[in-house]
Chain A
Amino acid sequence: MDRRTFLKIVGMGSVSMAVGCSPDPYNAPRPEKNLFSLIHAPEDMVVGRTSWYATTCRECPAGCGILAGNREGRLIKVEGNPLHPVNRGKLCMRGQAALQGVYNPDRLRSPYLKSDGGWRAITFAEAEGMLLEKTAQAAGSGDNRVRMVTEVIGDTLLQLCTETLTQYKSAPPLVFEPLGYESLKSANEIVFGVRGLPSYRMQQADLLIAFGADFLDTWLSPVEYARKFMQMHALDGGGKGRFFFVSPYQTLTGANADLWLDCRPGSEAVVALGLLREILKLGRPTGLSRKLRYQLGNTASAYDKATVSKLTGISVQDFERLTEALRRAGRPLVLGAGLGNGSSNSLQTDVAVNLLNLILDPDLSLFDFEQRHRVEVAASLFDVKETFRKFAEDPPALLLLNNVNPVYAVAGGGEIEKAISNPATYTVAFNSFMDETSVLADLIFPVRHFLETWDEYSGKQVPVSTLQPAMGRLTDSPTLGDLLLKTVDGNKRSAEGYKGHLVGRMLSRADINGELDWLKAVQQGGIHQLPEPKRYKGRAGGPAAEKIEELFSTLAEPHASGLTLAAVPTVRFFDGRGANRPWLCEIPDPITRVAWQTPVMMHPDTLKQQGLKHGESVQVKTDRGNLEAPVYLTHSVRPGMLVMGIGQGHTAYGRYAEGQGTNPLRLLPAETDPRTGGPHFVTGGVQVAKTGRKAKLANTDGSRSQHGRKIALTVGLDSLADLTKKKKSGLTMSDFPLVLPLPEGYDPKLDFYTPHQHEGYRWAMAVDMDRCIGCGACAAGCYAENNIGIVGDKQVMQGREMAWLSVERYEDPDDARQLVFLPLMCQHCDNAPCESVCPVYAPHHNKEGMNNQIYNRCIGTRFCSQNCPYKVRRFNWFSWRWPEPLELQLNPNVTVRSKGVMEKCSFCVQRIKQAHGLAKDEDRSIRDGEIVPACVQTCPTEALAFGNLMDPGSKVRKLAEDPRAYQIMGYLNTKPAVFYLKKVIQKV
């Protein structure tokens, strides 16, 4: 080889080597091009530390307060705002998933203009220009030419919208909310004279009866009511409140009832009238007018026990248990129909329920008419449909849609579709997604996400709840407020923007006095002092007797035969707006444990009658249409009932929503209820037919039965005392004692190795199953905090979901209708079976007792998972993807795992390390309650507790010493550090 050739080879070699040295071409999406150092860091940004901004959740109209965590400019986590009166620091899974609205890969980054049947991206300036031009044109063409339909928004913005529209000589905006509580509002108007939605002091009740009101799923304000429900229902001083649920299907709420009375669909009103009869019989003073009382007595007299039982399908004994409980209750509260119970009789149910409340407690002390739920401002569905129908006759020149999706969410909304796509109307959709409605619009104008805006939204009327941008903008989109201000008065107020407008309005309403108050409000997420509760001053004598009489005389016969379908809003998707959040799709439904899909829930008897099998694909048909869905066998619905969750089956709305599941709204009647104007979520005359096609359920559970094993344990309220007496000692599953994962749990007879010595702390968790309602908020919090991969439906079917914490659901061996929820995460055993089998020490026991998984060390033999009796370890079968910009949400404190690595719950070790740092800075030890893992943080019912087991005063230690405490599969002598407290079952 000559010198030249040598040099050539060396040169080529170096070049190819250098090319090969580029960052991992398989895993890294794209290397960062530029690295910047923060010479002038923003004031409140400390690198490596999360800044928390108080704002308000807008994922549903409940309006929970949230703290949005920002790390180096990126929003990485939302948590409940502990100061906020609605949610007191807690969030549901939809709130947690708000982040995936901001970072959704399908979020539009620029406005889109419809041209030649396709879409053309335009700049925001262009879009703004077009909007101004169109508004001016429309306003110039006559009265009422600019119309607006908006979701439920804060008062300030709503006023601004009204103001804007007034300026264009047009009617105020129509507030559309798919779940609008029309029936409850009408009933409140009839009985209390208030067309609104008072909130309930559920926590003060000792008996709760709900006629389908699913207050733990979606009803009004689920996080708030979950907390209040638990205050009332959790074991406290040896007793607990009682809760009856009357509905043809269970939902999460019914699954938490002491007794679920599975009445026939549409017969809730009959049960309520039966109760009215029993209560009136007692002859207590009611405060009702003589006439009304007489008339009520008359109406109710027909509903004796036998009739009620005959009409509703509830057994006489069960009904007697209900009446007996109501008779003995000191502070009963009765809640009306749920959203999904919007049958033809829901108004009667709600009215009867209101009357019951009024008779039981004429002061209505458990009602709060000051703190009314904001969602009451929504127009009834009838009005919405009527408005759109009129658009067909008299199309407005410009139609503005603010973040609404009626085309999806309204059953049989053909007129809406027509009106929006009418060429005579120029439709602008202020929406960040191409959903079913916005694809019909002429211009899609993305506005800022609620986590990027200044605003105000109070889920309840009195306290002010503020919104502030918790991060820089991802797109150049303006806020709706700014846009409106520009269109109204080009220069007057728009200079200071919507924020200025907001402050001005708050000042003028005397919510705040000056800058300092404003800053304080923004810091705290609002003004949270609740006003002194006022006593209810109702109409003397109650509502008009004639109206009541007329109402009950039209009580429709309950669906007695045939199949009935109910479409139910779910804790995961609400009205469907959650369907494009991968976390919500991936976290399985609490009852069915099915992810990504919309199964049809059916009772085993129904399956037998129809000749169907669990997991099979069926066609569900009504006279409105048909759809195909997998069958799901469950005891949580009554025979003859088909229940499907609302929210999926989108035809547009991004990659996670499109084509996943089905939309049962397509099967529902288009007519609204003639009295309330509300939608029907229940329909009779349903037919099912086998499709013959194979379906596979994307469920995450194996068996629902415990097969006689001691896993999710319950204890009778009356046998609580026995627990303390019995001290277990033995080696079998049933008599193995609770062994603390501490040196004191060492027994030379059982243990081969010497005990682990812990340095100062031994972290442990306690799960009070009596408090757990199974909502899955913890799982969502865990996904958000720990960068857990989303695998999609196909992989879930393969059994590859990555959830570190999943709320398992078991059926009671004696009664399959009684469900027990078991949040299951790594048990951080002291005698961990995973640790001993790993050849490379990837699972590692640390000095604080935790079982750490060292990702770098893991080579993926998967022996640890094989040997884990709890099967809580998760393997990265692939390198999971976070489509841009979802990866911006990743928590920088937590490693993103790549393919071939085992992972599992770490007890949020990053938070523990942070607390260590802080404690060291302050030269102290970590305080009890200072470390709050993501799951514990968000649990609405405070079912989870975390702390140091070595501290005899810690909460977790006290719970571990509770007589109800046990360890799952403790007899394996794994010495788990997660203690479960038995669920307390009471006979009612």
Chain B
Amino acid sequence: MGQAEAGTSFGRANRQPMRSRLDGSYGANRNLPMTELTFAKIDQTVLDTLRPASGRYWLAVFLLALGIMLGAACWLYQIFTGIGVAGMNIPVAWGTYLINFVFWVGIAHSGTLISAILHLFRAGWRNPIARAAETMTVFAVCTAGLFPFIHVGRVWLVYFMLPLPNQRTLWPNFQSPLMFDVVAISTYLTVSSLFWYTGMLPDLARIRDTSDGLRKKIFTTLSLGWTGEHEQWRHYVRIYLFFAALATPLVISVHSVVSWDFALGIVPGWHTTIFAPYFVAGAIHSGLAMVLTLMIPLRKIFNYEKIITMHVLESVAKTIIFTGLIVGFAYGTEYFIAWYSHNTVEMETFRWRAVGDYAYGFWIMVICNTLTPLLFFFKKIRTTIPWLFGISIIVNIGMWYERFVIIVGSVGHGFLPNAWGLYRPTLIEMGIMLGAFSLFFFLFVLFVKHMPSVSMTEMKETVAEGEGHGH
């Protein structure tokens, strides 16, 4: 069994389930200038990325590892000294740790959105970036998942949150939004990892088939005995669809649940019903921006220009306009409701947000998240790489500040004015934040060099559709 065999078996096997659904002819692929791509070329491009890495690559990996060590050292210091090494206080008892938590959960959103929801919607432009986006999801969830541990005062007792049988029959409090979080995040991590891995199976087998030695051994294990038989393809396509269907509600639910961490509190600025959709839109917004941030260098370094075409990037940019407008609308709605409620506490909170001590954060948020993406209305801008990359970074910053504004800017100015207070992150928090970013990029960089960062399977599927195979 050779690569050609696997390739053809793919083509053959895939056609059957595809046919029925393609009759509806979304035809997004029609816009793709993929005609010059062949199966072999796709394989070649992707497999080329797995060649032994250069010294610069390993230098980058080493630097990122250093960043992780720094973050870990900061965390260790915090564990032994006390949470006080961070800048939190009463009233602002949540700081960058939870900001980063929400930030990374938000980032984690788009992967599943792209691979599941857009898959169900037949948005063909998602295929070239689906793998990388899913990878981003998995690693972002892992990074996010670290932050609750970093955040709590006694991390060594964090297992109290698990429903472990114990003598005093104490159970976790399922009234608490934090328990919802535990459930939601772990579910999301499980499903998105499985989804990601399942999608990768044929590609892993493809790599197995072209490699030898230790690498072959590893990929043999990883590909779980994939042979490309018709029956396997049938199961594969079915399960992929099921996962997509299962992951879709999770995209909505995870960030809704995260938003309830706040919305279920009674703190002015948190206690609103808009939070769930607002957070989901924000998460997608940030996730898409992160996709651009990751894809643009990836495309350049790995010569993916033919696969991740400008059209793909442009589509992401267009979606960013849409999500940007949604979050902008949410910001406006919050103000409207604060005014409409005529609640002095609520009104003061939002007044302070815009003109108070953290006004800079608020305006960074508004400008970066809502106003800057509007530049994508210009075709020139959304098809120029530096612009795309720059704006994606700006949106990422803006989304970080959105969480800052929500988390710090609400409790800082709560019900009792005598308790009002301000918060400033410390160097330790910065170190941990740097560690988290390093961790994410470390994992991502390792992944793209050792695993197929573009789904060969789905690319072939796209090409097949575009060329009229199977019709």
Contact A878 B81 (CB under 8 A): yes
- Given A869-B415, A875-B153, the answer on whether A859 and B90 have CB atoms closer than 8 Å is no
- Chain A residue nearest to B180 (CB atoms) is A839
Residues of A within 8 A of B451 (CB): none
- Given A703-B417, A709-B345, A900-B153, the answer on whether A800 and B176 have CB atoms closer than 8 Å is no
Our pick among B93, B179, B344, B418 for the contact of A703 (Cβ within 8 Å) is B418
Task: Mark out the residues of chain B between 63 and 87 whose CB falls within 8 Å of any chain A CB in the assembled complex.
Answer: 80-84, 87
CA distance A862 to B176 in the complex (A): 12
- Given A858-B154, A859-B161, the answer on whether A836 and B175 have CB atoms closer than 8 Å is yes
Q: 1/0 per position for A857-869, CB-CB distance to B under 8 A?
A: 1111111011101
- Given A878-B81, A900-B154, the answer on whether A859 and B160 have CB atoms closer than 8 Å is yes
CA distance A878 to B421 in the complex (A): 19
Q: 1/0 per position for B152-172, CB-CB distance to A under 8 A?
A: 111101101100000000111
CA distance A396 to B344 in the complex (A): 71
Residues of B within 8 A of A714 (CB): none
Residues of A within 8 A of B89 (CB): 798-800, 877
Q: Does A26 contact B (CB under 8 A)?
A: yes
Contact B344 A838 (CB under 8 A): no
Task: Mark out the residues of chain B between 410 and 441 whose CB falls within 8 Å of any chain A CB in the assembled complex.
Answer: 411, 414-423
Q: Does A119 contact B (CB under 8 A)?
A: no
Contact A969 B154 (CB under 8 A): no
- Given A900-B152, A969-B416, the answer on whether A800 and B178 have CB atoms closer than 8 Å is no
CB distance from B345 to the nearest CB of A (A): 7
Contact B416 A870 (CB under 8 A): yes
Task: Mark out the residues of chain A between 792 and 837 whose CB falls within 8 Å of any chain B CB in the assembled complex.
Answer: 795, 798-800, 808-810, 822, 824, 833, 836-837
Q: Does A874 contact B (CB under 8 A)?
A: yes
- Chain A residue nearest to B151 (CB atoms) is A861
CA distance A711 to B420 in the complex (A): 14
CA distance A928 to B139 in the complex (A): 60
Contact B84 A795 (CB under 8 A): yes
Best-buried of B83, B176, B261, B416 by chain A (most CB within 10 Å): B416
Q: Does B265 contact A (CB under 8 A)?
A: yes
Contact A701 B418 (CB under 8 A): yes
Our pick among B92, B173, B415 for the contact of A709 (Cβ within 8 Å) is B415
Residues of A within 8 A of B27 (CB): none
Q: Does B266 contact A (CB under 8 A)?
A: yes
Q: Does A509 contact B (CB under 8 A)?
A: no
CA distance A702 to B419 in the complex (A): 5
- Given A706-B417, A799-B91, A877-B84, the answer on whether A862 and B153 have CB atoms closer than 8 Å is yes
Q: Does B267 contact A (CB under 8 A)?
A: yes
Q: Does B401 contact A (CB under 8 A)?
A: no
CB distance from A204 to the nearest CB of B (A): 36
- Given A875-B153, A876-B153, the answer on whether A860 and B83 have CB atoms closer than 8 Å is yes
Q: Does B94 contact A (CB under 8 A)?
A: yes
CA distance A857 to B348 in the complex (A): 36
Q: Does B182 contact A (CB under 8 A)?
A: yes
Task: Mark out the residues of chain B between 261 and 299 whose CB falls within 8 Å of any chain A CB in the assembled complex.
Answer: 261, 264-267
Our pick among B152, B265, B411, B419 for the contact of A861 (Cβ within 8 Å) is B152
Residues of A within 8 A of B170 (CB): 840-841, 857
CA distance A511 to B160 in the complex (A): 64
CA distance A81 to B402 in the complex (A): 57
Q: Does B177 contact A (CB under 8 A)?
A: yes
- Given A707-B348, A708-B344, A862-B153, the answer on whether A877 and B82 have CB atoms closer than 8 Å is yes
**Range, interface on chain A:** 35 or more
Q: 1/0 per position for A866-896, CB-CB distance to B under 8 A?
A: 1101110111111100000000000000000
Best-buried of A26, A708, A732, A861 by chain B (most CB within 10 Å): A861
- Given A859-B158, A861-B178, A863-B178, the answer on whether A879 and B418 have CB atoms closer than 8 Å is no
Residues of A within 8 A of B411 (CB): 866
- Chain B residue nearest to A873 (CB atoms) is B90
Residues of A within 8 A of B418 (CB): 701-704, 711, 808-810, 822, 824
Q: 1/0 per position for A694-733, CB-CB distance to B under 8 A?
A: 0000000111111111010000000000000000000011
CA distance A810 to B148 in the complex (A): 37
- Chain B residue nearest to A809 (CB atoms) is B418
Residues of B within 8 A of A877 (CB): 82-84, 88-89
- Chain A residue nearest to B81 (CB atoms) is A878
Contact A878 B84 (CB under 8 A): yes
CA distance A900 to B152 in the complex (A): 7
Residues of A within 8 A of B80 (CB): 26
Contact A866 B344 (CB under 8 A): no
Contact A899 B83 (CB under 8 A): yes
CA distance A875 to B161 in the complex (A): 19
Residues of B within 8 A of A708 (CB): 344
Contact B172 A707 (CB under 8 A): no
Contact B344 A707 (CB under 8 A): yes
CB distance from B411 to the nearest CB of A (A): 5
Q: Does A567 contact B (CB under 8 A)?
A: no
Residues of A within 8 A of B261 (CB): 863
CB distance from B241 to the nearest CB of A (A): 35
Contact A866 B94 (CB under 8 A): yes
- Given A702-B418, A709-B344, the answer on whether A867 and B173 have CB atoms closer than 8 Å is no
- Chain B residue nearest to A701 (CB atoms) is B418
CB distance from B93 to the nearest CB of A (A): 4
Contact A707 B158 (CB under 8 A): no
Our pick among B83, B87, B420 for the contact of A900 (Cβ within 8 Å) is B83
Our pick among B91, B148, B182, B416 for the contact of A865 (Cβ within 8 Å) is B91
Contact B153 A871 (CB under 8 A): no
Task: Mark out the residues of chain A between 916 and 972 whose CB falls within 8 Å of any chain B CB in the assembled complex.
Answer: 968-969, 972
Residues of B within 8 A of A795 (CB): 84
CB distance from A148 to the nearest CB of B (A): 48
Our pick among B82, B87, B94, B348 for the contact of A899 (Cβ within 8 Å) is B82
- Chain A residue nearest to B159 (CB atoms) is A859
CA distance A858 to B93 in the complex (A): 15
- Given A859-B160, A875-B93, the answer on whether A833 and B84 have CB atoms closer than 8 Å is no
CB distance from B266 to the nearest CB of A (A): 5
Q: Does A901 contact B (CB under 8 A)?
A: yes
Contact B81 A839 (CB under 8 A): no
CB distance from A221 to the nearest CB of B (A): 31
Contact B158 A871 (CB under 8 A): no
Task: Mark out the residues of chain B between 332 and 347 whose CB falls within 8 Å of any chain A CB in the assembled complex.
Answer: 343-345
- Chain A residue nearest to B261 (CB atoms) is A863
Q: 1/0 per position for B356-385, CB-CB distance to A under 8 A?
A: 000000000000000000000000000000
Residues of B within 8 A of A862 (CB): 88, 93-94, 153
CA distance A449 to B151 in the complex (A): 45
Contact A859 B154 (CB under 8 A): yes
Residues of B within 8 A of A879 (CB): 82
Contact A869 B416 (CB under 8 A): yes
Residues of A within 8 A of B152 (CB): 859-861, 900
- Given A702-B418, A705-B417, A865-B93, the answer on whether A839 and B153 have CB atoms closer than 8 Å is no
Residues of A within 8 A of B420 (CB): 702-703
Residues of A within 8 A of B93 (CB): 862, 865-866, 875
CB distance from A28 to the nearest CB of B (A): 15
Residues of B within 8 A of A837 (CB): 175-178, 264-265
- Chain A residue nearest to B411 (CB atoms) is A866
CB distance from B30 to the nearest CB of A (A): 50
CA distance A798 to B88 in the complex (A): 8
Best-buried of A839, A863, A870, A902 by chain B (most CB within 10 Å): A839
Contact A840 B172 (CB under 8 A): yes
CB distance from A923 to the nearest CB of B (A): 30
Contact A840 B161 (CB under 8 A): yes
CA distance A838 to B152 in the complex (A): 12
- Chain A residue nearest to B344 (CB atoms) is A708
Residues of B within 8 A of A878 (CB): 81-82, 84
Residues of B within 8 A of A704 (CB): 417-418
Our pick among A701, A733, A838 for the contact of B173 (Cβ within 8 Å) is A838
Would you give 6 A-B contacts (Cβ < 8 Å), ordered by A?
A701-B418, A707-B348, A795-B84, A837-B265, A863-B176, A869-B414
